[in-house]
């Protein structure tokens, strides 16, 4: 059983919802990212998504794009992010860690090599947002063979047939993008998201997490009523970016995570 599945099972027993936190690897620095992962997990982030920067992040809004550009300027890549995860594991942190990145980076690295390198570093899963179902066979079997969870993205425009296919291909969790367009730039109405999530839950045995546009604990709580968890990224990056120092970035992110956790737990 994967670390991600164990996390969801433990949360379900406690009747709590998962908080999946997205941060960019290497922004503001790799060393700060290592601290953020460990401290955010302790503060209540159940699963960490590390975004590996790419120069053409089409599905990401301006906040994440700028974060990617800053990390790229510092030379952050797959290799440096893998080394960061190894350091995180050596410190004793067992947070489930997912890599989110462009398939172009994976292909350039070598698909089989990438999946095996992730497994060796104790990465738990991968999200390739630009890979449609029709091209999944190039990546997913190799990921599964390496012992990685494969997290697929579903959208409001996904048909029932497509949702079933996405659910079948997903392990760990299914990531529902609650608005169409770029990440973090607008919110979906909670009622609309709720109705969509109810439908998806009838089609998927895999846990479902909803993301895109969630900015505070109250909204996270509303969305989580119909999902197994929420994904928060853009607002977390905003918090990190506003901090004057790297240490303040860690501290402010921890405060933000705690506020979302309180909202999810209804406290």
Residue given tokens 């089409």 in the structure block? 58
Given 9, 14, 27, 60, which residue is catalytic?
Answer: 60
How many CB atoms neighbour CB 22 within 10 A?
A: 24
Catalytic residue among 49, 124, 149, 252: 49
DSSP secondary structure code for residue 72 in this structure: H
Identify whether 49 is a catalytic site residue: yes
- Give me the half-sphere count of Cα atoms (radius 13 Å) on the Cβ side of residue 29: 8
Residue for token digits 């550009």? Answer: 69
Q: Contact 173/206 with Cβ under 8 angstroms? A: yes
Q: How many CB atoms lie within 10 A of CB 6?
A: 13
What is the C-alpha end-to-end distance of the chain, expressed in Å?
31
The answer to whether 220 and 267 have CB atoms below 8 angstroms apart is: no
In the structure encoding, which two tokens stand for residue 98, read together?
């997912």
| Cross-strand bridge partners of residue 175 | 153, 209
56 a catalytic residue: no
Residues annotated catalytic, as ranges? 49, 60
């Amino acid at each position: 059983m994967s670390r991600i599945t164990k996390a969801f099972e433990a949360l379900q027993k406690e009747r709590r919802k998962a908080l999946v936190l997205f941060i960019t690897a290497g922004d503001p620095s790799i060393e700060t990212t290592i601290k953020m992962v460990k401290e955010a997990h302790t503060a209540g982030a159940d699963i960490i998504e590390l975004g590996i920067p790419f120069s053409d992040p089409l599905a990401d809004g301006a906040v994440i794009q700028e974060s990617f550009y800053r990390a790229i300027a510092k030379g952050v890549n797959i290799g440096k992010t893998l080394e960061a995860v190894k350091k995180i594991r050596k410190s004793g942190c067992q947070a489930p860690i997912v890599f989110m990145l462009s398939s172009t980076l994976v292909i350039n690295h070598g698909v089989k090599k990438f999946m095996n390198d992730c497994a060796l570093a104790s990465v738990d899963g991968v999200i390739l947002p630009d890979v449609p179902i029709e091209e999944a066979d190039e990546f997913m079997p190799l990921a599964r063979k390496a012992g990685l969870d494969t997290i697929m993205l579903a959208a409001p425009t996904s048909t029932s047939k497509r949702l079933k296919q996405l659910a079948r291909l997903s392990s760990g969790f299914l990531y529902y993008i609650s608005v169409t367009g770029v990440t973090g730039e607008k919110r979906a109405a909670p009622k609309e998201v709720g109705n969509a999530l109810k439908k998806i839950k009838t089609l998927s045995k895999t846990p479902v997490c909803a993301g895109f546009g969630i900015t505070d604990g109250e909204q996270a709580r509303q969305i989580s009523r119909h999902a197994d968890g929420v994904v928060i990224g853009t607002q977390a990056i905003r918090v990190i970016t506003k901090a004057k120092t790297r240490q303040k970035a860690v501290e402010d992110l921890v405060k933000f995570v705690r506020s979302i956790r309180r909202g999810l737990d209804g406290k």
